[in-house]
Chain A
């Protein structure tokens, strides 16, 4: 199967004359910059953002760098700025300023750069209901390609590929309101990735799903990761973080931790402060720590907890 981020097909190349305009230059430069494999796909220094009318910055000078094929988790409580970050990385908001803000070689500080970034950085949002535009699954998967004016035959092939990949082939004609939450979110994911992407940003994609739907989405994301797509996974649930290459913790718009996953769990105080959702083993370990029996690193699975209790007891 063709990788999702196949750079042999320049992303978003229009097949029809009409859709080109000035943005073609951006897409072309994106394809060129992907040749330089060493450059990180996301490279942000001192990124600031403030919502209109707000008194404080939603993001105040944030640094983030993501290599290609890297899986980076972004955690933080509500209002920590993680959703804002997701939108900025996708070229969907205008930064207030930054020393450097580059996504897939496109400068997020310029209008053209953001437009170009939208073609290579895919963003999946939290509410599956409010992302589906079309009247049936396959039309929704095609929406991004229609906007990029792909020729119908090529679009057909790509849509079929995405449907198969996300297990949606049998649901292709289904109307969105007849889908389960997990199916909706998989449809949205297929639609985001139908446009060839180099980075996928997920903004709490499982927060509104039941356990079955959550499992479906996490499984799909795990498969993407195996294929080497760079993933920025924004979440509040700790067990979704465990397998990440790196984790970045935000608090009030600033990075308070950036490093490997075990490192975050070593700081029990920080984990508590971030208000993260811990798996049951972690919750119990925090309670134990409060009673004077800290288990470090924080166990997150039943096995780890049993082992830690055995070792320390």
Chain B
């Protein structure tokens, strides 16, 4: 079974080598700009930036497509709802739905905007190892420590969660198979019956996870982990000239996108 949710594509392109924090800031800035600007021209500027970044990343199209495909229906749904429910002078009516040029234009704009957002976001997740991304976010979240938000602990939790997702999926599959071997059926009957059918699957999975949490905590303590300690990292975050360039270029793109 496919047991990885991370879409990270290991590589050594210039985009890969950029610092996770710089990439995150760049993507966040572009995302905000994308939502502030509501013209096709602005969209075109941001889209070209996304395409160029993706091109530099060297990620194969097939890989990108695999990560992107599940989001396609979301974009499609956005298009449809906007098309059907946007106000405007109808040129065509059917049942309770009115189709208008304004609606079509609006729907196209919104779905394209979503498309560009996904593209730009994907460049970040495709070229940044989840661990580096988590570390980067923890670093960016440091000011929150003053508010007693335990950012480093949260980052470690996210890392551990990511590490165990594939394991959990395999275990889920095994338990479902085992219960099917004992005659259980999933996905048939009404919602209540379906929910009930999941008890023999979710109960063992929870128990397993609780036991795991216990054993994992012990193993972490055995390797000198304590909440609140200051840790170093094997792969420290390192920002350099290319990252400064990235931020400068991002600023230029934002200005261009907002002014065209």
Contact = CB atoms under 8 A, between A and B. Distances in A.
Interface in B155-213: 159-160, 162-163, 166-167, 170, 211-212
A173 B163 CA distance: 13
A146 B233 contact: yes
A12 B226 CA distance: 14
B220 interface: yes
Contact of B229 (A149, A152, A176): A149
Contacts of B129: 135
B96 interface: no
Contacts of A144: 223-225
Contacts of A156: 234
Given A143-B225, A152-B234, A125 B163 contact: no
B167 to A, nearest CB: 5
Contact of B159 (A122, A130, A135, A173): A135
Contacts of A152: 232-236
Contacts of B235: 139, 152
B55 interface: no
A90 B222 CA distance: 7
A135 B162 contact: yes
Contact of A148 (B159, B170, B221, B224): B224
A140 to B, nearest CB: 9
A111 B129 CA distance: 38
A151 B233 CA distance: 8
Given A131-B215, A131-B216, A15 B232 contact: yes
B241 interface: no
Interface in A144-195: 144-152, 155-156, 159, 173, 175-177, 188, 191-192, 195
B219 A135 contact: no
A175 B222 contact: no
B225 A131 contact: no
A16 interface: yes
A176 B162 CA distance: 11
B-side interface size class: 20 to 34
B160 A133 contact: yes
Nearest to A143: B223
A134 interface: yes
B224 A133 contact: no
Contacts, number: 109
A155 B232 contact: yes
Given A143-B225, A148-B224, A129 B234 contact: no
A147 B219 CA distance: 13
A134 B163 CA distance: 6
A125 B223 contact: no
Contacts of A131: 215-216, 219
Nearest to B165: A177
A85 interface: no
B219 A138 contact: no
Contact of A19 (B130, B220, B222, B229): B229
A278 to B, nearest CB: 28
Contact of B223 (A18, A19, A127, A147): A147
B232 A12 contact: no
A130 B163 CA distance: 11
A139 B3 contact: no
Contacts of A123: 222
Nearest to B8: A135
Interface string B110-147: 00000000000000000001110000000000000000
Nearest 5 pairs between A and B by C-beta?
A18-B230, A144-B223, A142-B234, A130-B215, A131-B219
18 contacts: A18-B230, A19-B229, A19-B231, A92-B222, A125-B218, A125-B222, A130-B215, A131-B216, A133-B223, A134-B131, A135-B162, A144-B225, A145-B234, A146-B233, A147-B224, A147-B225, A147-B231, A192-B223
Interface of A: 12, 15-16, 18-19, 87, 90, 92, 115, 118-119, 122-123, 125, 127, 129-136, 138-139, 142-152, 155-156, 159, 173, 175-177, 188, 191-192, 195
Interface of B: 3-4, 10, 129-131, 159-160, 162-163, 166-167, 170, 211-212, 215-216, 218-226, 229-236
